């Protein structure tokens, strides 16, 4: 059962700022803020200006934003106090707000209350977390789409169609002794095949967005490093499947760090190309080296590219092939085919050529595997959870659509339809288990 406690949290970012925000939700929200801000804000929707009084501080300017239940984000009375964004001040404000029926909120608790009060569905709740964690324009667009509720609406429409089939099937069971069938088996099978196809399309879209990410939503970073003319830029273009960077036989063609999202199977990575290592005191070369070093420091995986046709066999500075954070690539094997054969290639993980295409699929698979292994413990991202639930619904509908005989047995058909409806209801947020909800909201930050 949802608690009636009033919760409070600092919902502005940590650190000093021009404005700090404390948020409360629950029946005591207006009363508690009224004890600290004069004049006390009435229990009404709107904005009031006043003075905030806290022990150890002079009276401070404050604005109070009130939102009255049930027309608020959480569905409860919500009050926000906006004042100066000083860390010590915000700590003192939280200390004054909490106690006597008001407690500090846990991660995602405001959004969880919005879900429990029917203000948003589960896909929209996850959209809040995704928007906070977004690091790219594609992340932002996907999160906003979830927040707008379009995905939830589409899944609810599918669930309603399954529920209609289930109602007719269960009604037919009651009339079996009278030889009345409200939903002929052939019609049920055809309907299930149609629905399974539409659910499968939604599942494909969800899997396409189920990128392996760190707990905060960050893409896995794989950074190409190597000596000048090792072929990093040609490999970068080949992995992306398009000509993104200039390729030249002259050393030093790449001076900056070029980053692009790349999708390999079910994994999306942030792939980076860096300037080749050149022993030089030239000002531009030194600047390029500094940017390369910074990119290497941010990387989850270093992809060491060494040319098979000669050059320095030692890894460049900062690349430690024995620490497990490096994928070793022997490149340009079309120029020295004997080098790629055992035992010479034993020191490398992948041998590649952008001329023949050899090894490129193996390299893509290796990058995807490293990303999955690195982030496998970070919690299922929104789209992965949706894809799993949609897959269960599709499988149940596929079974009925492919086997007309099962549709002749009302109890068996009803069982499969109930399973599909439950899975779709979990996606839409109507039939979610406590375990699913805990897993979703645990990924939020405090104050959201």
Q: 302 pLDDT exceeds 60? A: yes
Which residue is it, tokens 């919902």? 11
List, in sequence order, every residue forming a beta bridge with 66; answer none if it has no partner: 46, 79
Mean pLDDT score across all residues of the chain? 79
Residues 93-118, mean pLDDT to the nearest whole number: 88
pLDDT band at 378 (very low <50, low <70, confident <90, very high): very low
Distant-in-sequence, close-in-space partners of 126: CB < 8 Å, separation ≥ 6: 146, 382, 385, 440
Whether 342 and 368 have beta carbons less than 8 Å apart is answered as: no
Distant-in-sequence, close-in-space partners of 445: CB < 8 Å, separation ≥ 6: 107, 108, 132
Q: What is the distance between the alpha carbons of residues 403 and 444, in angstroms, rounded to a whole number? A: 43
Q: Which of 22-26, 277-281, 331-335 has the highest mean pLDDT?
A: 22-26
Instruction: Establish whether the linkage from the previous residue to 343 is cis, with ω within 30° of 0.
Output: yes
Instruction: Establish whether the linkage from the previous residue to 136 is cis, with ω within 30° of 0.
Output: no
> Coil, helix or strand for 217?
coil
For the chain, domains (ranges, CATH) are 6-105 (3.30.1360.120), 126-210+381-441 (1.20.120.430), 220-374 (3.40.50.300)
Q: 48 pLDDT exceeds 50? A: yes
Kindly list the distances between the CA atom of residue 283 and the CA atoms of 162, 280, 287, 289, in Å, as whole numbers in the listed order.
Answer: 67, 9, 6, 10
Burial 355-380 (b: 16+ CB within 10 A, else e): eeebbbeebbebbbebbeebbeeeeb
pLDDT, tens digit, for every residue of 240-254?
A: 888 877 666 565 556
57-61, 130-134, 417-421: segment of lowest average pLDDT: 130-134
Whether 92 and 54 have beta carbons less than 8 Å apart is answered as: yes
Give me 399's structure tokens: 């079974």
The pLDDT assigned to 163 comes to 85
> Coil, helix or strand for 130?
helix
pTM more than 0.75: no
How big is the chain by its Cα radius of gyration, in Å?
29
Q: What is the distance between the alpha carbons of residues 143 and 418, in angstroms, rounded to a whole number? A: 30
Q: What is the distance between the alpha carbons of residues 105 and 74, in angstroms, rounded to a whole number? A: 13
- Percentage of residues of the chain with pLDDT beyond 70: 73
Q: Which of 30-34, 141-145, 291-295 has the highest mean pLDDT?
A: 30-34
pLDDT band at 214 (very low <50, low <70, confident <90, very high): very low
State the pairing for strand pair 37-38/17-25: unpaired
pLDDT band at 74 (very low <50, low <70, confident <90, very high): very high
Distant-in-sequence, close-in-space partners of 189: CB < 8 Å, separation ≥ 6: 400, 401, 403, 404, 407
pLDDT, tens digit, for every residue of 315-360?
A: 777 676 655 678 889 988 888 766 655 555 567 889 999 899 998 9
pLDDT, tens digit, for every residue of 400-434?
A: 887 667 777 778 888 889 889 888 887 765 545 55
The pLDDT assigned to 38 comes to 94
The pLDDT assigned to 35 comes to 95
The pLDDT assigned to 437 comes to 57
Q: 155 pLDDT exceeds 90? A: no
């Amino acid at each position: 059962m949802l608690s009636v406690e009033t919760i409070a949290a600092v919902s502005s970012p940590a650190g000093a700022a021009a404005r700090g925000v404390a948020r409360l939700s629950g029946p005591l929200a207006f009363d508690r803020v009224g004890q600290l801000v004069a004049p006390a804000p009435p229990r009404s929707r709107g904005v009031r200006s006043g003075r905030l009084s806290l022990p150890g501080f002079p009276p401070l300017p404050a604005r109070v934003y009130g939102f009255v239940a049930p027309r608020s984000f959480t569905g409860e009375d919500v009050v926000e106090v906006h004042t100066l964004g000083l860390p010590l001040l915000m700590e003192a404000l939280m200390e004054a707000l909490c106690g006597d029926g008001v407690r500090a909120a846990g991660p995602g608790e405001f959004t969880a209350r919005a879900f429990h009060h029917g203000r948003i569905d589960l896909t929209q709740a996850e959209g809040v977390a995704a928007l906070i964690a977004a690091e790219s324009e594609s992340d932002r667009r996907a999160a906003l789409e979830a927040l707008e509720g379009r995905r939830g609406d589409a899944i609810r429409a599918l669930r309603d169609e399954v529920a209609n089939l289930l109602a007719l099937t269960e009604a037919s069971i009651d009339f079996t002794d009278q030889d009345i069938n409200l939903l002929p088996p052939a019609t049920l099978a055809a309907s299930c095949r149609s629905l399974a196809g539409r659910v499968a399309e939604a599942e494909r879209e969800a899997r396409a967005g189920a990128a392996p990410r760190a707990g905060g939503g960050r893409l896995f970073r794989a950074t190409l490093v190597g000596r000048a003319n090792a072929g990093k830029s040609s490999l970068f273009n080949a992995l992306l499947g398009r000509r993104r960077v200039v390729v030249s036989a002259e050393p030093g063609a790449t001076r900056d760090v070029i980053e692009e999202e790349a999708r390999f199977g079910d994994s999306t990575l942030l792939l980076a190309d860096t300037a080749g290592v050149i022993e030089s005191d030239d000002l531009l070369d030194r600047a390029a080296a500094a940017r390369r070093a910074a990119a290497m420091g941010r990387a989850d995986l270093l992809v060491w590219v060494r040319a098979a046709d000669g050059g320095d066999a030692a890894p460049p500075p900062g690349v430690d092939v024995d620490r497990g954070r490096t994928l070793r690539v022997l490149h340009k094997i079309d120029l020295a085919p004997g080098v790629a054969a055992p035992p010479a290639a034993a020191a490398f993980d992948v041998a590649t050529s952008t001329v023949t295409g050899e090894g490129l699929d193996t390299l893509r698979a290796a990058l995807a595997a490293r990303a999955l292994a690195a982030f496998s413990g970070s919690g299922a991202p929104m789209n992965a959870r949706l894809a799993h639930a949609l897959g269960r619904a599709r499988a149940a509908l596929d079974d009925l659509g492919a086997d007309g005989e099962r549709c002749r047995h009302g109890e068996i058909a009803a069982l499969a339809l109930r399973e599909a409806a439950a899975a779709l209801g979990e996606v839409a947020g109507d039939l979610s288990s406590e375990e699913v909800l805990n897993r979703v909201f645990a990924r939020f930050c405090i104050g959201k």
